[in-house]
Amino acid sequence: MADIDDFATSLLEEAKRFLEKAVEGKDNARRDANLHEALMLAFCSLEAQVNAIAEEFCSRPELTPHDKGILLERAVRLEDGEFTLGGFRMYRLEDRILFLHRQFSGKRLDKSAAWWPQLKRAMDNRNKLTHPKGAHPVTVENVRDALAAVIASLDALYMAIYKKGFPAAGLALDSLLTF
């Protein structure tokens, strides 16, 4: 488990460093490339963290096959009169975050928290970049907000599930990297 946690944290640090490089840069093409990289890595980190949390909790005996299906992104089938896990089935990231929060804290996520709509906007920007139907400019402010939302969402999940904050939240948007 530590390997995926370390990897997810390194992805977040890389995202923050690419944002710093975008802000430092004078060249528009380089700035845009750094912004794209920062946005995509921020979501890679968020998904890796969500996967790590899901993996950690999926072995609990009280979980149903449907619960495990959501956690592990697997289809649930009925075979020989019982539910079993089948092949890959993708769930939306926001649904998995909501599920983890509710399932392991016993409480609904507060969607009125400032970071939730910020995360939804960031997901929209990421989706427009991932599945372009035309040019979609990304600004420093978009990426800064996206990174802040990713960190805040992980902090909220950690507080709800583990009763302690996300360890990397204290650094905010400051990267430990210098490349």
CB distance 155 to 169 below 8 Å: yes
Burial of 67 (0-12, 13-18, 19+ CB in 10 A): middle
Q: What is the pLDDT of residues 9-26, one digit of tens each?
A: 999 999 999 999 999 988
pTM assigned to the model: 0.92
CB distance 99 to 70 below 8 Å: yes
Count of CA atoms in the C-beta half-sphere (13 A) of 155? 18
Which residues of the chain form beta strands (DSSP E)? 74-79, 82-88
- Confidence band of 1 (pLDDT split at 50, 70, 90): low
Count of positions (residues) in the chain = 179
